[in-house]
Structure formats: structure tokens, C-alpha cells
Amino acid sequence: MAIAERGYTHWPGTLDPARRPWRTIARQGIRLAWRRKFFKFVLSFSLLPALVFTAGVYISERLGDFKNMLKGADRFLQINPDYFKAYYASSGVPFMMLVIMVLAGAGLIADDLRHNALPLYFSRPLRKRDYAGGKFATLAFFLLALTLVPGLLFILLKIIFSGSLKLLTDFPWLPFSVVGWSVVVSSFFSLYTLFLSSLSRSRRYASILMLAVYFLSDVFFAIFMGIFHEPAFLLLSIQMNLRQLAAAFMGAKPQFDVPWFYSVLVLAAGAGLAIFVLHKKIRGAEVIR
């Protein structure tokens, strides 16, 4: 007998109260993003800097072979914390992260708001933190693929190509810095994306907001810096704060002489605001008071 003719049937299993729903949400989010061909293309493209820096790690061990090609550029191929700082802060990686955030993250909450999916989520045994955690993990997965994976790969390849642990003996804190920086920047950007995605019911407006806030913060910094010649205005810029922090994590000299913990405070305030807004915006029922 066809199922449709059998009438309603019960499910004989039992629900598992101890499961982690954020993992289900994250898996679905990653799967949905990955289904789009354009996203796959952009993600592959955004790994290009990592590929170039990987080649740099290889060449750094074969400087003699590439002497003619390098023509004095071998000073950039010293594999030390500055090399990592160059990858993280000034190689276009932050911009590629922004593009990934727009493509994979702008609709994470905006789409659910637009299509009224939140009541469906919260009619399940699901906390706000499960929902937000799942969305956060979706984005963090892709951002860590751009930060943590290449960083650890550089260290591993350097050890393999050089055949020694000199990098680790010289800079034993480097792997921790790579992990720490990757987690911090991915977490900040994930919160930033979810925050702006929750402000609109349109994925398109959320994307515009994400780009606008990021670039306008740079523009304001450039304007004020130009007028007042005061480097402390870097605190207005998301990108400059992240660069300061990257330098601090990698033990390198920051671009501007402004204490790095100011940047920590600014970014932490931004993250706090994002968590507050997410707490207010994510709920099963719209309550207008």
C-alpha cells in the first residue's frame, strides 16, 4: 500500500534531548552556501593569496635556485612572524574575508527573517544561543579556512621544506599566535556579519550594510588622519584595528604607534553590541511594544 494511502503513521523512535542543534544549523548553512557555484569560485579565488604565500615558503628554502627571478626580493621571503603578519593584514585576505562574509553570511539571518523561518526554529527545543551559534559556526568555518588553515599550513610546510624545527624554536609562540589571531578575527567578522544580517529582512541590504560599514570606517579614518594627523583615529577603522591586532599577535611592529589594546577594546565593544542586538532580534515571535 502506498504511504499516502496508509494514513498517518507514528515514528517509533525517541527524540534525543542531549543533541547539539547548533551543529545541525551550521552543517545546513555550510551546505547551502556550498551549493552555489559562484560561492565555490570566490572561495577558491580567495585562497589564491594562501597559495602565493605557500609558494613563498617553498622558495624561501630554495633561494639559490630562484636567485635570478627574485632579484633582491628575497628579503620578503624570511619566514618569521612578519611573514605571517603580511599574509593576515596586508595581502588582501581581509578583503577576501569580507567577500566571503557577504556571500555566505549576509542572508544567514536576513533570509530567515524575510521568510519567517524563526518561528519554525523556535518551535523546536532550541535556545537562542543554539541558533546564533549555528549561524556563527557556518561563517566561522569559511573564515577559518582562510586564516587558520593557511597559517598552520605555512608552519607545517616550512618545517617540512627546511627539514628542521628552527621556526618553532625561534618563535615557539607562533602556532598559538596563528590560532589566536585566526579565532579572534573569524569570531569578530562572524559576529559583525550576523549583527548586520539581523538588521534587515533583505540579504541585499545586509550585504550593502556590511560593505558600507567596513569601507566607511576606513574612509572616516583617512579623512580625520588627513586633517588632524593623529594616528589614534585608526580606532575608527575596522581594518586598521585588525591590522594593529594582527601585529600584536605576531609580535611585529604595528603600523601606527597606538597601543594595541585600544584596538582590542574597540573590537570588543563592537562584538558586545553585536551580541546585544542579536539577543534582541532573534526570537520566535515578533513582539511590538
Partner 1 sequence: MMNIELQDVRFSYGPVRALDGVTLEIGEGACGLLGPNGAGKSTLLKILLGFLVPSAGEGLVLGHDIRKDSFGIRRVVGYMPEDDCFIPGLDAVSFTAYFGELSGMPRAEAMKRAHDVLYYVGLGEARYRLLETYSAGMKQRLKLAQALVHDPKILFLDEPTSNLDPQGRTEILELIADISSKKDLHVLISSHILTDIEQTCTSLVILNKGKVAAQGELAALREVQFSLYEMKVKGETKSFLDALRAAGCRVEETVDQLLKIYLPASMDRREVFHRAEKAGLQIRHFVKSRTSLEDLFARTVGVD
Query: Given the rule CB under 8 A, which residues bind partner 1?
Result: 2-4, 6-11, 13, 15-17, 19, 21, 24-25, 28, 32, 35, 107, 111-112, 115-117, 119-126, 283-285, 287-289
Q: Which three cell numbers stand for residue 193?
A: 556579519
| Angstrom distance (rounded) from CA 88 to CA 94 | 7
Residue 89 or 101: which CB sits closer to partner 1? 101
Output the nine-digit C-alpha cell for 125. 527545543
Report the nearest approach of partner 1 to the CB of residue 104 (Å): 12
CB nearer to partner 1: pick between 22 and 171: 22
- Map residue 195 onto helix, strand or coil: helix
Q: Distance (Å, rounded) from C-alpha 249 to C-alpha 179?
A: 10
Of 67 and 283, which has the nearer Cβ to partner 1? 283
Q: Which three cell numbers stand for residue 103?
A: 556571500
Least Cβ distance, residue 138 to partner 1 (angstroms):
13
Report in angstroms how near the CB of residue 205 gets to partner 1 at its nearest: 16
Region of residue 251 (left: phi > 0; alpha: psi -120 to 50; beta: else): left
| Residue placing its CB nearer to partner 1 in the complex, 120 or 149 | 120
Cβ atoms of residues 33 and 103 within 8 Å: yes
Cβ 107 to partner 1 shortest distance, Å: 8
Q: Closest distance between partner 1 and the C-beta of residue 41, in Å?
A: 17
Of 71 and 289, which has the nearer Cβ to partner 1? 289
Contact at 8 Å (CB) between 181 and 264? no
